[in-house]
Structure 1
Amino acid sequence: MRKEAARLDASDTLRECRALFEIADDVAYFDGNSLGALPKAAPARIAEVVQSEWGQRLISSWNDADGEGAGWIDLPQRIGAKIAPLIGARRGEVIVADSVSINLFKLISAALAMRPGRKVVLSEPGNFPTDLYMVEGLEMQDLAERCLAERADIEAALDDNVALLMLTHVHYKTGEMFDMARLTKAAHDAGALVLWDLSHSVGAVPVDLNAVGADFAVGCGYKYLNGGPGAPAFAFVAERHQQALKQPLSGWMGHARPFDFTDDYEPAPGIDRLLCGTPQILSMSALEVGVDLMAGIGVDALVAKSRALSEFTREAMAQVVPELECVSPADPETRGSQLSWRHADAYALCQALIARRIIGDFRAPDVLRMGFAPAYVRYVDCARLVTELRDILDSGEWRKVEYAQRGAVT
C-alpha cells in the first residue's frame, strides 16, 4: 500500500501544491474540511494590509485601488466574483459577508417574504445545527414553521405549504451528497424556493448553481477555501431574484448610498443589498489569498484528486481496518471530499491519531471523520492513516486516559 501511495504521489499533477501551504512534512492533515491549512502567501498579505494599508495609508485605503487607496470597500464584491466560477455562478451573484449563520438568516427570511401564504422551511434531521437553529429563530418570531423529512421522503414532503427547501449539499457528518439538480427541480415544481449550504462543497466537489436553477446558496470561507479561522462566508442570490430580495438585516453597507447617511433605508441594487455591517478587512484579505490559490488550481483538478484520494483510502481501510463501519457512500460521485467511520470510541481513536500527527476530527456521537483537501493531502498520508490506525487498535493505545478527555472543541 505504501509503495502504491508513493507511486501515485510521484505521478500526481498537484504534487507541488502542498508547498504552497504551511504544513510540516511529518503532518498528515485530514481536517481541511473543518479548517483549511494556512497558505504561505497569507501572512505576508495580512502584514501588508496591517503595516502598509492600515498603518501608512490609514483611512484612504477604503477607496479605489487606483492611486493611493487599497480598495477595501470593494472586497466583498471582488472576492465574491472570484468564488462565483467555483460554484457555477455569474459575477454579481456572489458576495462575501458575515458568517454562514447570518447569511442563512438573511436568505431564509428573504425567501419566506417571497412566498406569502407559505411558512414552512423544509430540511432534514441531522442537517448541520446552525442551519436548523436559524429556522428555529424565525419560528420563535412566528415567521416560519420548521419541517424535517428524512432524505428518502423529502420530495414527498414538498407540498403547497413549503416556502423554502433548505439543504446542505454535502452532509457534514457522513459526506453524503444530495442530487442538487433533481431536488431543485422538485422544489420548483412544488412552488418552493431552494437554499443550498455549500460549506462542505466549494473547492472540493462540482457545483453548478445556475445550471440547476438554484435560487440561493451560502458557503464557508475557512474550509476548502483556506481563508483562516472564522473567515467570512459568502452568499449567492440568482440574478432573477435580486430585485425582489428583501433581507431583514438592513445595515448601512446594504444601503444604496451608505455615505449619504440618510435616516431611511433604501436597498442597494443587486447582490450588494445582502451586505450589512462594515466588511472585515483583515479576514477578507486572508480569504482572498485562499480563494486565489484554489481558483488557480482549478475545480476539475481538485475534484479529480479528491475522489482518487478518498477511493484509495476507502478501499485500504476496508481491507486493513474492516471493523470500522464506513458511513459514507461507496460511490465517490455521491459523496463529498471526506470519509467517515463509526466506532464507539471514535473520539479516543481520533486523539490517538492526532498524537501521531495524523489530524482528523470527531463528530458526535461516534464518527471519526477524515477530509481530503486535494491541494495538500498526499497518498502517503492516506496510507499512513490506515497503517497507524491499525496499529493503534491492535496495541490498545487509544485506551489511554488522556485520549478520552474532551476539549471544548471536538
Structure 2
Amino acid sequence: MIFHSTKNKNLTASLEEAVFRSLPSDNGLYMPEKIPQIDSSFLDTIEDRSFKEIAVEVAFTLLSDDVSREDITSIIDKAYDFEAPVVQITPGDYVLELFHGPSMAFKDFGARFMAALMSHFLSRSEQEIKILVATSGDTGGAVAQGFYKVPGISVTILYPSGKVSEIQEKQLTTLGHNVRAIEVDGTFDDCQSLVKEAFLDKELSSKFNLASANSINIARLIPQSFYFFSAYAQLKKLNKPIVFSVPSGNFGNLSAGLLAFRMGLPVHRFIAATNLNNAVPRYLESGSFEPRPSIETISNAMDVGNPSNFIRMTRLLNDDLNLINEKIVGYFYNDSQTKKAMREVYGNTSYVLCPHTAVAYRALEEYRQHEETDFTGVFLSTAHPAKFIDLVEDTLGRKVDVPERLNELLSIEKVSIKMDTSFSSFKNLLLS
C-alpha cells in the first residue's frame, strides 16, 4: 500500500517507510492512497469469526501489498492475547470494553500491533529505532508495555506533570530498561508539539532513526479499526443500525472507526464525544475548525485542544462538510455532567465507568433523544475505572476493585526526568 501526506499527495511512502518515519517531511500525516474494500462474503459470516480472525482479515485487506497473510497472522498472534467484548448495559445500549490488555486501556490495541509490526520489519535489518511519544494519559502506559524490551527499539515518553492519574504515571515511569519517561512542566499539547518538532529537526533526524507511537503513526490507526469490526460481529444478530459513541481527544479512535466504515463496515453514525476540549463538536456545529489551548478536566486523556487526527477524520469523508455532518454528530460535557453520568449508570446497572467512558455514554443518551431510527448504541470504554480510582471512588461513594496488575504498581517508585517546555531542552536531552 502507498501512503501520501495529507498536505501533498505527491509526497508518498511505503508502509515500512510510513511506520518508521511517522510523519512526512512536510509535517502532514500519512493517509492510504486508496482504501480497499473488505470482502462482502467476509461480512456475511463475520459473526462466526474470533477477534484474531477478524483482525487478520482487516489487516490483510489493507496491507497485503507489503506483508504476507502468514506474517500478518504471526503479528496478530504476537500482539493480542486479549479480547474486545461487547457488554449489554440497557436494552438498547452496549459498552465495548477495550481495557482487557496489559495496560488496561484501548491504546494496547494500537501499541502492541505497532510493536509487532516494527519488530517484523526490524528482523530483516540491523536498524535501531528511537520512539518518541507524547501522552495525555493512557498512550504512555500502552506504548511502554508494548515496546518494553523489544530488541532494537528505545522509547522516550513525554507526559504533562500533574495531569495524569497516579496509576497512569506509574505505568510509564516504572519499567526502565529501554523505556524512559520525561515529565514536562506543561500540557499534553506542549508534549505533542515537542515530539512533532523533533521529527522536523534535521540534526536529530540525521543522528537517530526517529519514529512515533502516537496516533499520528498510521500503524497505530490501522489496528484500532479491528474492534469496530469485532463489535459489529458481536451485534450483527440484532439486525439494527449501529451507532458508535467514541470518547475523543486526539481523534485517532474516531478516525479508525471511519477507516472501518470506508472499508465497508455498516455504521449508521458516529458520535464525537468530548469534554470541554470541544474543537470538533464546535466544528460540526459551525463548519469552522478553531483549536484552542487545552483545558484540564477529570477525563484527562481527552484534554487535547488541537487534535492531530482532525485532518484524517475529515479526509476520510472527502473533506465534504455535508457528508461529515451526515456521518458524525458531536457533543461535549463538563466535569459535573461527566460525574452525573457515572453515578447514573452505577445507580441503574451497578456498572462502573471511567470518566472518559462516561462522556461517551452521556453523548449516546443525548443522541438517542434526537434520533427517530431504532438503533443499537455502542459506547466505547477506553480504560479500566481503577486507573482513576480516587476520582471514581469519590464520585460513586464506594470502593473500586483494583486489578492486581495495577495494584502492584502503586508500591513501585516512579523514575522520570523533569523538563520545561522548550524544544532546546528536549533536543539537548535526546542528544545527551
Report TM bin, short chain. 0.3 to 0.5
Which of 1 and 2 has higher RCO (CA within 8 Å, sep 6+)? 1
TM-score, normalisation: structure 2 = 0.34
TM-score, normalisation: structure 1 = 0.35
